[in-house]
């Protein structure tokens, strides 16, 4: 095992005038220990729920390629935890070892998300899902509580219904002391028409509910509960092995871009659903997808608004067509068949004047946008984007020349330590610093990326978030300065 990364990480950290916060590391829950702790927390029922959860997660790796192709199931991740780097494997498994190694990795403070628990929030049935998330949250906080000055974990919040989300938020925050939450989203739900007309087929086809728009449930109580508890929500959802990422033979085909795709869907839902307009006190984080999709979405949202806002729709309103003027032009330039069709009024309403029955033709109505500067308040200031260390596209978020209205988006360092894409934990800080060495970020950009943006994400919503941590003083200085 190389020590070069360790030495380089310490060297870089020592050269900086600010701490480093990892906004998205992962621990690798050790199954035998988790079963033992679940038994202590909830008895045999909790152990049974854990076993049922494992059984309910489709394991396509037990199938042949031919069988996955026959069933149209995607090739899932194999060998996704460190092995050759035994120290890193142990570090991901054991919170105390991670705590002791933080300086070697170059981190001052770290927020830890699940690995096995990433999918628990979306498991049916209701009783199993809620019991599993509850036991997991108790278990995880027990493992990390004593390291809270430098490491804090994220709670899993099930979101099939607003009621279960609010109950677990209340318990996780007030009873367990969680300050970070991983919210469920892209909830798989049955399609009503299939349930009614083809019930046998309905169990094989689902739709994905992004919860903030067009949901069968009203999630307004969840946003209110988050505001009440002063917790900014994080979303760590993927879109692997569904739709256009469903290769039965190639995991990387399924994996590349899937976090970005899921994050874009969720961010669009929150934006178009008007959540950032109604809840300006909340920030929203989308993890592990990088910032490229966020920059593209930001530009697209503005571009579409300019062409599809209420007054701009008049440019394509069929009622605005000067039919007499068009006929005059057809008579001068068109063939006889064209003139006759225009005279009869045929072919002039390509969509038959249909608008799909929506109540408000302005797709941005919930956002209540009055001018282009509103995108700064509704998108730029409210959304945060988790970026891994080795992604050069991270620099795009800070490039005022490339983003509309000279915006800098809130990219923050999210290492993903504990998973296969980090072969050596001590290399994540040096890899991130390459953006400075290559001239893609300046020192101020790097400070925001590695420290200040994470402080703002949590600290703007909860000014006491970093109280009692090793970065308390520096975090307070960031929050005291205007954006």
Strands (E), 176-264: 181-183, 187-190, 206-209, 233-235
The DSSP bridge partners found for residue 188 are 208
Tally Cβ neighbours within 10 Å of residue 450: 29
- Where do the DSSP E strands lie in 72-113? 109-113
Categorize the per-residue pLDDT at 318 as very low, low, confident or very high, splitting at 50, 70 and 90: confident
Phi, psi of 70, deg, nearest 5? -65, -35
Give the span between the Cα atoms of 360 and 362, in whole angstroms: 5
Rounded to the nearest 5°, which phi and psi values hold at 235? -120, 125
Q: Could you identify the residue written with the tokens 């027990």?
A: 142
Q: Where are the beta strands (DSSP E) in 246-296?
A: 284-286
Q: 46 is written with which tokens?
A: 């909790």
Q: In this structure, what DSSP letter does residue 154 have?
A: P
pTM: 0.95
Q: Which residue has the tokens 């209205």?
A: 405
User: Sorting pLDDT into bands at 50, 70 and 90, what band is 69?
Assistant: very high
Residue matched to tokens 């152990």: 47
Within 13 Å of residue 348, how many CA atoms lie on the same side as its CB? 21
Give the pair of three-digit tokens for residue 11: 């060297």
Contact indicator for 402, 78 with CB cutoff of 8 Å: no
Cα 472 to chain centroid, rounded: 26
Grade residue 146 by pLDDT with cuts at 50, 70 and 90.
Answer: very high
> What CATH number matches the domain at 4-308+373-480, 3.30.450.20, 3.30.70.60, 3.20.20.140, 3.40.50.150?
3.20.20.140
Phi, psi angles (nearest 5°) of residue 404: -55, 145
Rounded CA separation 93/246 (Å): 30
**84 three-state secondary structure:** coil
Phi, psi torsion values for 387, nearest 5 degrees:
-125, 130
pLDDT in tens, 23-47: 999 999 999 999 999 999 988 878 8
Residue span(s) of the chain under CATH 3.20.20.140 come to 4-308+373-480
Residues 6+ apart with CB under 8 A from 444: none
Mean pLDDT (whole number) for 410-423: 96
Question: Looking at the predicted structure, is the pLDDT value of residue 346 above 50?
Answer: yes
Model confidence pLDDT, tens digit, residues 205-262 = 899 999 999 999 999 999 999 999 999 999 999 998 888 999 999 999 999 999 999 9
Phi-psi region for residue 82, left (φ > 0), alpha (ψ -120 to 50) or beta? beta
Give the number of other CB atoms < 10 A from CB of residue 99.
17
Residue 51: half-sphere exposure toward Cβ, Cα within 13 Å: 10
Spatial separation of the C-alpha atoms in residues 157 and 120, rounded to whole Å: 9
CA distance 56 to 62: 14
pLDDT of amino acid 365? 97
pLDDT score, position 57: 57
Q: Looking at residue 60, what is its pLDDT? A: 81
Question: Where does the pLDDT of residue 292 fall: very low under 50, low under 70, confident under 90, or very high at 90 and above?
Answer: very high
For the segment 74-80, the average pLDDT, to the nearest whole number, is 89
Summary mean pLDDT of the chain: 93
The answer to whether 165 and 171 have CB atoms below 8 angstroms apart is: no
Distances (CA, A) of 69 to 55, 56, 72, 201, 298: 21, 20, 5, 19, 37
DSSP per-residue letters across 312-380 = GGGGT-GGG--HHHHHHHHHHHS-HHHHHHHHHTTTS-TTTT--TT-S-S-TTGGGT--STTHHIIIII
Q: How confident is the model at residue 1 (pLDDT cuts 50, 70, 90)?
A: very low
Instruction: Report the pLDDT value the prediction gives residue 2, as an integer from 0 to 100.
Output: 44
Per-residue tokens: 447: 């400070």
**Which two tokens mark 374?**
């509103």
Reply yes or no on whether the pLDDT at 172 is more than 90: yes
Indicate whether 5 pLDDT > 90: no
């Amino acid at each position: 095992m190389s020590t070069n990364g360790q030495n380089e990480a310490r060297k870089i950290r020592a050269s900086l005038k600010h701490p480093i916060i990892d906004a998205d590391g992962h621990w690798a829950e050790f199954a035998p220990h988790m079963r033992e702790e679940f038994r202590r927390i909830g008895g045999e029922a909790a152990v049974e729920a854990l076993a049922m959860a494992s059984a309910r997660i489709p394991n396509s790796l037990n199938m042949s390629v031919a069988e996955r192709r026959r069933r149209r199931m995607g090739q899932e991740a194999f060998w996704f935890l460190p092995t050759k780097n035994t120290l890193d494997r142990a570090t991901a498994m054991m919170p105390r070892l991670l705590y002791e190694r933080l300086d070697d990795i170059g981190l001052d403070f770290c927020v830890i998300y699940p690995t096995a628990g990433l999918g628990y929030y979306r498991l049916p049935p209701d009783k199993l899902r809620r019991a599993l998330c509850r036991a997991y949250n108790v278990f995880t906080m027990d493992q990390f509580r004593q390291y809270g000055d430098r490491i804090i974990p994220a709670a899993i919040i099930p979101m099939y219904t607003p009621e279960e989300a609010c109950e677990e938020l209340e318990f996780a925050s007030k009873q367990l002391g969680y300050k970070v939450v991983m919210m469920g989203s892209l909830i798989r739900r049955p399609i009503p028409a299939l349930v009614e007309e083809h019930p046998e087929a309905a169990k094989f086809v689902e739709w994905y509910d992004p919860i903030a728009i067009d949901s069968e449930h009203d999630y307004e109580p969840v946003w209110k509960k988050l505001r009440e508890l002063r917790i900014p929500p994080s979303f760590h959802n993927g879109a692997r092995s569904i739709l256009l990422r469903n290769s039965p033979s190639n995991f990387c085909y399924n994996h590349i871009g899937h976090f970005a795709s899921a994050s874009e869907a969720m961010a669009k839902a929150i934006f178009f659903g008007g959540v950032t307009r109604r809840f300006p006190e909340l920030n929203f984080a989308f993890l592990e997808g990088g910032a490229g999709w966020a920059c593209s979405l930001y530009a697209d949202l503005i571009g579409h608004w300019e062409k599809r806002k209420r007054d701009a729709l008049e440019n394509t309103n069929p009622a605005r067509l000067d039919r007499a003027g068009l006929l005059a032009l057809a008579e001068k330039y068109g063939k006889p068949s064209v003139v006759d069709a225009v005279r009869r009024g045929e072919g002039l309403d390509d969509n038959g004047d249909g608008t799909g029955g929506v109540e408000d033709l302005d797709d941005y109505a919930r956002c209540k946008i009055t001018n282009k500067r509103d995108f700064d308040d509704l998108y730029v200031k409210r959304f945060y984007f988790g970026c891994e260390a080795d992604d050069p596209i991270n620099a795009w978020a800070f490039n005022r020349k490339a983003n509309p209205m000279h915006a800098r988006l809130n990219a923050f360092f999210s290492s993903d330590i504990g998973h296969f894409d980090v072969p050596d934990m001590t290399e994540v800080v040096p890899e991130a610093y390459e953006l400075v060495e290559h001239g893609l970020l300046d020192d101020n950009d790097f400070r925001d990326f590695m420290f200040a943006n994470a402080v703002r994400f949590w600290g703007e919503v909860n000014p006491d978030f970093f109280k009692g941590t090793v970065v308390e003083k520096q975090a307070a200085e960031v929050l005291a300065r205007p954006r």
